[in-house]
């Protein structure tokens, strides 16, 4: 949507006064392409002191178009879920805002699948009607080589041909409910890189002058092998990567080879700008913060009114107070519910356990509900002391999951806990908050992968119980041969995140109780007050040891439990292994020093085995590269390592 020049004069005046606040001054706009970008908005479309809001996005597009620049507006995913403003209608309002703001293309994030695939199709229909294409070149119709959504788009701006293609993280397979992605295949790792290279080649053949990858990959450690930095190192010909997923702020952008990567953080705290000189392709990236925007720019009137009206309607529905908490409840991510026990994790697990036991009693079921598990990734925010509104409740627990009973063996319970803490102390969405049992994680023990779970990026533990010890269940010793009935949410019960073992339970029963209702029921049993008993975590989870410093040679992964025939990949573009000789040190002519460039799948052990003939010499490589390797378990595609032979 073109908003014209209704705010031009005011913006020009502001730009001249606040010249250093805008990436490029007014008289520099001729011959410029401006890429405006957002990511991980998570429903934060209202304007506040901390967030620019969607009205600011539209106004900034107006600003640059009014100055004569050619403008492209892009979003890198996770736009449809996160606040009651958009959750109430399962993301449809978010789609309407994107259309009204005039987005040119979007990629999907894993949270676009949170309300189920049917809801996503409704979102897609709104976007399609508004001429906003969804680009996801690595998301295929299962069993085919056909993309489910669009793969790429070509825009012509002022004589410049811009090619854009999209990618979504394969982690969506496990970060979303399996039922929401059952008809899809996500190309991952080398296959994703090959698909990306094929897109670049096709767009280049179409005569594109500038190529953008719009992706939801991120740079989190747990995404190693599929990060945007891995993509940039593996694929040639991408000029700009607009990234999301890890909520990373990259002010000024990050260069990997010839490719610039940009990301704004999250929640519209910033809008990203990349100004491209059409002749030289020189790029200038900058983030505009909420405070800077408020001082410099006006806001789009149409979207301001539109969002305000929707927010007022939703507020009326959710403004009721249902409880009070005497203490702050910790729902932060890291450190927080994804790394350790927290009081909000205890409370949510207690609520699950209470609701399930009450349900069993009311239904006359001959079942003893033993344990509750609440995945940390399902807790989306903290709760400050004071009154708790329904709006807060549905912001913290937005998914509408139901409470499910699953009977598993002690051995399967141990597998669940081991798999769901495999990265601890590094954050993981599957981290199990617990009630009815206690467990310890020894992070000094190296985690080893076993078989890969079906249609998942996660693996079963090769040695369940090597890191995790279940110390008690309801005050009694843990028995690996006993049956335990656990209560979880429906996302976990379907095998979401690292919870595949739950799908193998001997008994599964969905109570149809929505998780938020379970929390309300539990608070009511407490007299409507969350008291001082939740001031601190209850001591149900202990994290001991220090993360193992020495990497071990990973065992050859076993075949997936249920392997599916992969689509025929395009020619792989992962960089070939290269060894570039460097000058020998004059002080020691017996040592030959080479430079090795890391490729996909490398570990220090593997490199040592190939280059030095013995994997146990990995520590020699580590010692020679301490300035560039902060953690011997984390090396990156394209990284150059000194090899002393």
User: Mapped to the 3 state alphabet, what secondary structure does 244-283 carry?
Assistant: CCCCCECCCCEEECCEEEECECCCCCEEEEEEEECCCCCE
Distance in angstroms (rounded) separating the CA atoms of residues 641 and 608: 11
pLDDT digits (tens, 9 = 90+) for 564-608: 333 333 333 333 333 333 333 333 434 566 788 777 667 776 787
> Residue 122: inside a domain, yes or no?
yes
Q: How do strand 134-135 and strand 139-141 relate by DSSP bridges?
A: unpaired
Write down the pLDDT at residue 563.
Answer: 32
In angstroms, the Cα distances linking 42 to 82, 83, 213, 268, 462 are 4, 7, 21, 9, 36
Residue 625 shares a structural domain with residue 518: no
Note whether 213 and 162 are within 8 A (CB): no
pLDDT digits (tens, 9 = 90+) for 229-240: 999 999 999 999
Task: Residue 363: give its domain's CATH number.
Answer: 3.90.780.10
**256 class by beta-carbon count within 10 Å (0-12 exposed, 13-18 middle, 19+ buried):** buried
Write down the pLDDT at residue 607.
Answer: 84
> Residue 471: inside a domain, yes or no?
yes
Q: Measured in Å, how far apart are the chain's first and last C-alpha atoms?
A: 61
**532 class by beta-carbon count within 10 Å (0-12 exposed, 13-18 middle, 19+ buried):** exposed
Distance in angstroms (rounded) separating the CA atoms of residues 544 and 560: 31
What residue ranges of the chain have pLDDT lower than 50? 1-27, 548-590
CA angle 569, 572, 576 (to 5 degrees): 160
Residue 395 shares a structural domain with residue 513: yes
Residue 309 shares a structural domain with residue 326: no
Residue 63 shares a structural domain with residue 92: yes
Write down the pLDDT at residue 616.
Answer: 59
Residue 509 shares a structural domain with residue 599: no
Write down the pLDDT at residue 569.
Answer: 33
Note whether 298 and 292 are within 8 A (CB): no
Domain range for 166: 26-313
Write down the pLDDT at residue 104.
Answer: 98
Task: Residue 620: give its domain's CATH number.
Answer: 3.10.350.10
Residue 296: strand, helix, or coil:
helix
Cis ω before 335 (30° cut-off from 0): yes
Residue 292 shares a structural domain with residue 332: no
Task: Residue 273: give its domain's CATH number.
Answer: 3.60.21.10
Q: How do strand 437-442 and strand 541-544 relate by DSSP bridges?
A: parallel
Residue 585 shares a structural domain with residue 512: no
> Residue 195: inside a domain, yes or no?
yes
> Residue 46: inside a domain, yes or no?
yes
Residue 468 shares a structural domain with residue 533: yes
Write down the pLDDT at residue 629.
Answer: 74
Write down the pLDDT at residue 592.
Answer: 65
Residue 369 shares a structural domain with residue 330: yes
> Residue 19: inside a domain, yes or no?
no
> Residue 3: inside a domain, yes or no?
no
3-state secondary structure 191-216: HHHHHHHHHHHHHHHCCCCEEEEEEE
Alpha helices in 364-456, H assignment, sequence order: 390-396, 410-419
The tally of domains found in the chain comes to 3
Cα 418 to chain centroid, rounded:
22
Write down the pLDDT at residue 581.
Answer: 33
Residue 159 shares a structural domain with residue 295: yes
Write down the pLDDT at residue 547.
Answer: 55
Alpha helices in 497-617, H assignment, sequence order: 515-525, 604-612
Residue 43 shares a structural domain with residue 164: yes
> Residue 582: inside a domain, yes or no?
yes
> Residue 565: inside a domain, yes or no?
no
Q: How many CB atoms sit inside 10 A of residue 447's CB?
A: 22
Residue 510 shares a structural domain with residue 592: no
């Amino acid at each position: 949507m073109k908003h014209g020049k209704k705010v031009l004069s005011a913006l020009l005046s502001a730009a001249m006064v606040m010249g250093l606040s805008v990436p490029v001054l007014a008289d520099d706009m001729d011959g410029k392409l401006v890429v405006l970008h957002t990511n991980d908005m998570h429903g934060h479309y209202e304007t506040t002191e901390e967030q620019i809001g969607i009205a600011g996005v539209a106004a900034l597009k107006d600003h640059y178009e009014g100055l004569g620049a050619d403008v492209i507006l892009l979003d890198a995913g996770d736009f449809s879920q996160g606040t009651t403003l958009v959750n109430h209608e399962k993301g449809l309002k978010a789609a309407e805002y994107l259309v009204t703001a005039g987005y040119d293309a979007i990629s999907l994030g894993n949270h676009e699948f949170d309300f189920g695939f049917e809801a996503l199709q409704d979102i897609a229909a709104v976007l399609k009607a508004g001429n906003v294409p969804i680009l996801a070149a690595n998301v295929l119709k299962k069993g085919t080589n056909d993309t489910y959504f669009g793969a790429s788009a070509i825009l012509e701006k002022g004589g410049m041909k811009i090619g854009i293609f999209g990618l979504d993280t394969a982690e969506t397979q496990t970060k979303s409910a399996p039922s929401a992605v059952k008809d899809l295949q996500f190309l991952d790792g080398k296959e994703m890189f090959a698909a990306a290279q094929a897109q670049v080649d096709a767009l280049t053949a179409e005569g594109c002058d500038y190529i953008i990858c719009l992706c939801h990959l991120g740079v989190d450690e747990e995404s190693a092998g599929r990060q945007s930095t891995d993509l940039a190192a593996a694929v040639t010909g991408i000029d700009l990567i607009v990234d999301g997923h890890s909520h990373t702020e990259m002010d000024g952008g990050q260069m990997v080879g010839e490719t610039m990567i940009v990301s704004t953080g999250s929640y519209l705290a910033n809008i990203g700008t990349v100004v491209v000189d059409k002749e030289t392709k020189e790029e200038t990236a900058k983030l505009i913060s909420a405070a800077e925007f408020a001082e410099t720019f006006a806001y789009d009137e149409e979207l301001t009114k539109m969002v305000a009206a929707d927010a007022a309607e939703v507020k009326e529905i959710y403004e009721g107070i249902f409880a009070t908490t005497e203490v702050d409840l910790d729902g932060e991510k890291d450190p927080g519910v994804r790394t350790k026990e927290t009081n909000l994790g205890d409370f949510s697990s207690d609520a699950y356990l209470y609701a399930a036991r009450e349900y069993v009693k009311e239904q006359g079921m001959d079942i003893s509900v033993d344990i509750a598990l609440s995945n940390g990734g399902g807790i989306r925010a903290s709760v400050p002391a004071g009154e708790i509104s329904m709006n807060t409740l549905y912001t913290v627990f937005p998914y509408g999951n139901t409470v499910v009973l699953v009977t598993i063996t002690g051995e399967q319970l141990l597998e669940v806990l081991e798999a769901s803490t495999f990265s601890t102390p590094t954050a993981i969405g599957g981290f199990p908050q617990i009630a009815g049992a206690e467990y310890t994680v020894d992070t000094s023990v190296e985690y080893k992968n076993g078989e890969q779970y079906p249609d998942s990026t996660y693996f079963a533990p090769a040695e369940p119980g090597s890191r995790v010890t279940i110390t008690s269940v309801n005050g009694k010793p843990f028995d690996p041969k006993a049956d335990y009935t656990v209560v979880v949410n429906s996302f976990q019960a379907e095998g979401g995140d690292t919870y595949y073992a739950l799908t193998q339970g001997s008994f599964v029963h969905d109570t149809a109780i929505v998780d938020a209702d379970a929390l309300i029921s539990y608070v009511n049993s407490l007299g409507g007050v969350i008291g001082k008993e939740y001031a601190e975590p209850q001591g149900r989870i202990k994290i001991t040891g220090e993360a193992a410093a020495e990497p071990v040679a990973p065992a050859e992964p076993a075949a997936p439990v249920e392997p599916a025939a992969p689509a025929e990949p395009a020619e792989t573009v992962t960089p070939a292994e290269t060894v570039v000789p460097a000058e020998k040190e004059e002080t020691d002519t017996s040592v030959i020093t080479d430079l090795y460039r890391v490729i996909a799948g490398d570990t220090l052990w593997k490199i040592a085995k190939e280059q030095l003939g013995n994997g146990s010499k990995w520590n020699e490589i580590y010692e020679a590269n301490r300035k560039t390797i902060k953690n011997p378990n984390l090396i990156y595609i394209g990284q150059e390592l000194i090899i002393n032979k």
